Structure 1
């Protein structure tokens, strides 16, 4: 049992929020921020009554709401425990997107196309270097539960043959490669926590005032041409960003480094100037070196899997 549950917290009958929702929110916050990790036992109903000064019915309503949300497991005679996290992991340094990475784990991913139209290239889409862009709006779900809303801009006329039905329950990068012959080879990504408006919260079925994980950036093809600008809002309770950390001992003088025997796919001079507005040259040298090394390692892994390099 985690005796810290409820420490420093209270519920108030004078507020506008019902007592059971106040208690549920307190417990939910501790589960989401891992103060109560998966498998941790919650106090008994009687202990929660005493800690928060509420009735048994209030406690049962709060626990019932948490169970309905899948955050706790309740068992007769054994109390309540924090349920295993329903998380979907994304390696942000890998070029394959969210749909592909989650599908690789054997989970079925659904993609719904919410918007598909031509618009004047402005704002982030101006990085495409074309006067017009194809603007996409897609909702990604797993087992019927929304996990990400994606806004993407593609250059025109390069992607003029793309159709909305091509993207239904499909990977954009896969469609670009198979239908248009566009192979996405590199890119730049930025991650931040961001507030969400009511429309976004509704689409992702999130609690009011909940933050989202925002991933935005650009992608380029083998020639260095910008072929994608995107902004993706992730459900922060269901998507986790993983980052492989390496010991960087390279020379930091030029901001780029590579391992012996491996040639980086992109150098600073290779990056098109139209991308600088979304952060290519404005990032810290450490971020640039990490990106270059991640590209090299991904290419090296592909060569090993393909048998072109013999494993020791």
Structure 2
């Protein structure tokens, strides 16, 4: 049993951290690293008490904390069971966002106003830019904070963006279809403002997805950054075997504008995760030709 693998002093009364917090941390680490998958039975209060030499009231307090965090389910006569993690999976290579990939998603508009942002203005190729800030929630829990910069000429309103897909609205209202884009993913720590919006402690791990989206003519439509709760959202990537060599980015080479591409067929995916490999190679060759010319 995994409990036998733990050192007896994993919960140590000489430490400053309360005993119940130490025990909950031990159990939490086993749950979050997959050692205790959903549905696993936890040891009884008596077993945990005997293992670590602590009172059953301390054990009970630790289990209550895990229950409050949604990691453990407890019921009379059935003991403590590891709860489903409640993860939401997002296919990063798809142009569509969380609102169309997940069920029971709500979108609240936090703000929509003109903003001077040199990077957004340069990326979008316009002088007048609006900043759109939204909060996405699933099953009543916030999972993503979205900052999007758009040309002011699109004239969108908070009312029509509430509980709506931005891409669907652009297609319906302006006939703009988002076909291509560039995406980057990185791990960041939650700032105080991000932590407040996502209801996590400051410094909690977040998954940042950022990029630019282009229409059918290859023109930039949006620049965005989306911070996802790492404990709630999982990024999925479909990969395929290919004999095409990965293109190496050229230092100082200009960034070509992506050209429109048809949507991939169901079951296919880009080995780059966002753009088609062949298109990326063509863009690199174009950039190289422009540099040599």
TM band (smaller chain): 0.7 to 0.9
Cα distance in 2 between the residues matched to 1:9 and 1:126:
58
Which among 134, 148, 152 is matched to residue 138 of structure 1?
134
Provide the residue aligned with 1:271 in structure 2: 258
Would the aligned equivalents of 2:8 and 2:51 in 1 still touch at CA under 8 Å? Answer: no
Structure 2 residues not aligned, in runs of 5+: 250-254, 260-269, 281-293
Provide the residue aligned with 1:122 in structure 2: 118
Deviation for aligned residue 1:232 = 0.6
Cα distance in 1 between the residues matched to 2:124 and 2:169:
19
Alignment pair present for 1:227 and 2:221: yes
Deviation for aligned residue 1:141 = 0.6
- Is the alpha carbon distance of 1:16 and 1:82 closer, same or farther for their aligned partners in structure 2, counting shifts above 3 Å? same
Q: TM-score, normalised by structure 1?
A: 0.76
Deviation for aligned residue 1:199 = 2.3
Q: Give matches, 1:187-198, under 5 Å.
A: 187-198=181-192
- Is the alpha carbon distance of 1:117 and 1:246 closer, same or farther for their aligned partners in structure 2, counting shifts above 3 Å? same
Structure 1 residues not aligned, in runs of 5+: 256-267, 273-285, 297-312
- Is the alpha carbon distance of 1:231 and 1:288 closer, same or farther for their aligned partners in structure 2, counting shifts above 3 Å? same
CA RMSD after TM alignment? 2.8
Give SS of 1:3's match.
Answer: helix
- Is the alpha carbon distance of 1:150 and 1:290 closer, same or farther for their aligned partners in structure 2, counting shifts above 3 Å? closer
Deviation for aligned residue 1:10 = 2.5
Provide the residue aligned with 1:206 in structure 2: 200
Cα distance in 1 between the residues matched to 2:241 and 2:227:
30
Provide the residue aligned with 1:175 in structure 2: 169
Deviations 1:149-193 (A, max 9, x none): 001101233x2x211111101111111111122111111111111
Deviation for aligned residue 1:218 = 0.8
Would the aligned equivalents of 2:121 and 2:127 in 1 still touch at CA under 8 Å? Answer: no
Shifted more, 123-132 versus 216-225: the winner is 123-132
Q: TM-score, normalised by structure 2?
A: 0.80
Provide the residue aligned with 2:32 in structure 1: 32
Provide the residue aligned with 2:285 in structure 1: none
Q: Give matches, 1:57-206, under 5 Å.
A: 57-102=57-102, 107-124=103-120, 126-157=122-153, 159=154, 161-206=155-200
- Is the alpha carbon distance of 1:8 and 1:14 closer, same or farther for their aligned partners in structure 2, counting shifts above 3 Å? closer
Would the aligned equivalents of 1:6 and 1:52 in 2 still touch at CA under 8 Å? Answer: no
Would the aligned equivalents of 2:180 and 2:275 in 1 still touch at CA under 8 Å? Answer: no
Deviations 1:214-262 (A, max 9, x none): 111110001111111111111111111111111112255689xxxxxxx
